Amino acid sequence: MGLLDIAIIGGGPIGIACGLEAQKKGLSYVILEKGPIVNSLFNYPANMQFFSSSERLEIDDIPFISKEAKPKRDEALEYYRRIVTSNKLNIQLFEKVLEVQKANDIFHVRTSKGQYQANHVIVATGFYDIPNLLNVPGEDLPKVSHYYDNPHYYAGQKVAVVGASNSAIDAALECWRKGAEVTLIIRGTEVGQRVKYWVRPDIINRIEEGSITAFYNSTVKAIHEDTLEITNEKGETKTIPNDFVLALTGYKPNFQFLEMLGIHITKDEKRLPEYDPETMETNVENLYLAGVICGGMETHKWFIENSRIHAKMIVAHILDKNQKRHP
Ligand SMILES: Cc1cc2nc3c(=O)[nH]c(=O)nc-3n(C[C@H](O)[C@H](O)[C@H](O)COP(=O)(O)OP(=O)(O)OC[C@H]3O[C@@H](n4cnc5c(N)ncnc54)[C@H](O)[C@@H]3O)c2cc1C
């Protein structure tokens, strides 16, 4: 492909938005995606419904039509796939970026399939690849998963769902509705306040009527073949029968990858990557961040709806620089 204006790492909604904007503005680019188009969304639960309404997930004002106000995962896959195919975006799928090195102001990007050179790099790698682990004995048992897909699998089984935010609550309700015996293990005192406003009353009612058992102020201590040990804030331990554990306690960005790129990350628990919020350029010149990766451990700060603007900000900054270099 020769020397590109931009190499975009990650073909999620925001990486795609960056590619589309670059293409519209006449810049050469490639989107490098380690999985299928919008890999994270592809791996969301089969029946997942977004908390955003469809127009807030639109990129470049391309209409997103969904049956209900809040689209389902399949509708989002359709939408973003159509943007890629209709606009013939230059995207390389199932091609993982392994290493990026900068020499003489040019980025050398090594992937699982080849090499690319670019004047600018945009990192839009999201945060869905690395789950927050429970770090307890037994977490590596095959019955434990940090991702949830389909409730059918759990019918007739004793399922413990760990977590209190949207992913955990959706999974708990779905599994219970398909015939699983569900126990929720919640670290805090209540179901998360960010749980979708139309879902929260549903789970609270199911807990109050006793259909779903919830242990508050509780954490998992150990996981065994047929049981689960939990402990509460008083240090009391309880062992419950268990077939499957869905540990849905959130995800985090690949900080090692960011550090490999030379991006500074704060040392506190937020682990914020350094970038200029006006331009999205990091402390490494010509290297940008886009999408939810910007939030570090604050994974509830950035969403598609408020990070889709990064694409236009970054491309405008690159064009501005090019203009200054070659007036
Ligand atoms: C269950 C769930 C529900 C959500 N619901 C909403 C919602 O309703 N509204 C909203 O606005 N936001 C929502 N979000 C948050 C946000 O929309 C998503 O995280 C969204 O996918 C972020 O887009 P992104 O392009 O920044 O990152 P991602 O979509 O995560 O895209 C990153 C891409 O980078 C790829 N990648 C990673 N590393 C590499 C590498 N080394 N080489 C090549 N490719 C790589 C990944 O495969 C992935 O496709 C939700 C998140 C989750 C987890």
Q: SS3 for the chain, per residue?
A: CCEEEEEEECCCHHHHHHHHHHHHCCCCEEEECCCCCCHHHHCCCCCCECCCCHHHHCCCCCCCCCCCCCCEHHHHHHHHHHHHHHCCCCEECCCCEEEEEEECCEEEEEECCCEEEEEEEEECCCCCCEECCCCCCCCCCCCEECCCCCHHHHCCCEEEEECCCHHHHHHHHHHHHCCCEEEEECCCCCCCCCCCCCCHHHHHHHHHCCCCEEECCEEEEEECCCEEEEEECCCCEEEEECCEEEECCCEECCHHHHHHCCCCECCCCCCCECECCCCCEECCCCEEECHHHHHCCCCCCCCHHHHCCHHHHHHHHHHHHHHHHCC
β-pairing, 130-131 vs 251-252, is antiparallel
Average pLDDT, the chain: 97
Closest atom of ligand 1 to 39 CA is 49
Closest atom of ligand 1 to 291 CA is 26
Taking CA atoms, 153 is separated from 150, 156, 206, 250, in Å, by 6, 9, 21, 21
Residues 232-253: b if buried by 16+ CB within 10 A, e if exposed = eeeeeeeeeebbbbbbbbbbbb
Residues 6 or more apart in contact with residue 274 via CB below 8 angstroms: 263, 264, 265, 266, 282, 283
Q: Confirm if 122 and 18 have CB atoms less than 8 A apart.
A: yes
Closest atom of ligand 1 to 293 CA is 26
Cβ atoms within 10 Å, residue 279: 16
Q: Residue 266 C-alpha to ligand 1 middle, in angstroms?
A: 22
Q: Residue 119 C-alpha to ligand 1 middle, in angstroms?
A: 25
**Mean per-residue pLDDT for 192-213?**
96
pLDDT surpasses 90 at 85: yes
Cβ atoms within 10 Å, residue 316: 13
Percent of all residues in the chain with a pLDDT value above 70, rounded to a whole number: 100
Specify the pLDDT at position 325: 83
Distance between CA atoms of residues 72 and 48, nearest Å: 6
pLDDT surpasses 90 at 1: no
Closest atom of ligand 1 to 305 CA is 11
Amino acid (1-letter code) at residue 197: Y
User: Is the torsion defined by CA of 297, 299, 304, 306 positive or negative?
Assistant: negative
The answer, yes or no, to whether any atom of ligand 1 lies below 6 A from the CB of 44, is: yes
Specify the pLDDT at position 155: 98
**Mean per-residue pLDDT for 147-173?**
97
pLDDT surpasses 80 at 219: yes
Distance between CA atoms of residues 54 and 67, nearest Å: 10
Which of 34, 196, 251, 257, when mutated, tests ligand 1's pocket best, judged by the most ligand atoms within 8 Å of its CB?
A: 34
β-pairing, 3-9 vs 29-32, is parallel
Residue 231's beta-bridge partner residues? 219, 237
Q: How would residue 204 be classed by pLDDT, with cut points 50, 70 and 90?
A: very high
Q: Residue 39 C-alpha to ligand 1 middle, in angstroms?
A: 8
pLDDT surpasses 80 at 289: yes
Specify the pLDDT at position 227: 98
- For residue range 12-34, what is the model confidence (pLDDT) as tens digits? 999 999 999 999 999 999 999 99
Q: Atom 3, ligand 1: which residue's CA is nearest? A: 50
Q: How would residue 326 be classed by pLDDT, with cut points 50, 70 and 90?
A: confident
- For residue range 235-253, what is the model confidence (pLDDT) as tens digits? 999 999 999 999 999 999 9
Tokens of 144: 């434990």
**Mean per-residue pLDDT for 119-137?**
97
Q: Residue 325 C-alpha to ligand 1 middle, in angstroms?
A: 34
Q: Atom 26, ligand 1: which residue's CA is nearest? A: 291
The answer, yes or no, to whether any atom of ligand 1 lies below 6 A from the CB of 304, is: yes
Q: Residue 128 C-alpha to ligand 1 middle, in angstroms?
A: 6
Q: What angle do CA 69, 70, 74 make, to 5 degrees?
A: 120
Place of tokens 């029946």: 47
Which of 292, 300, 308, 309, when mutated, tests ligand 1's pocket best, judged by the most ligand atoms within 8 Å of its CB?
A: 292
Distance between CA atoms of residues 204 and 16, nearest Å: 38
**Mean per-residue pLDDT for 156-170?**
97
Q: How would residue 327 be classed by pLDDT, with cut points 50, 70 and 90?
A: confident
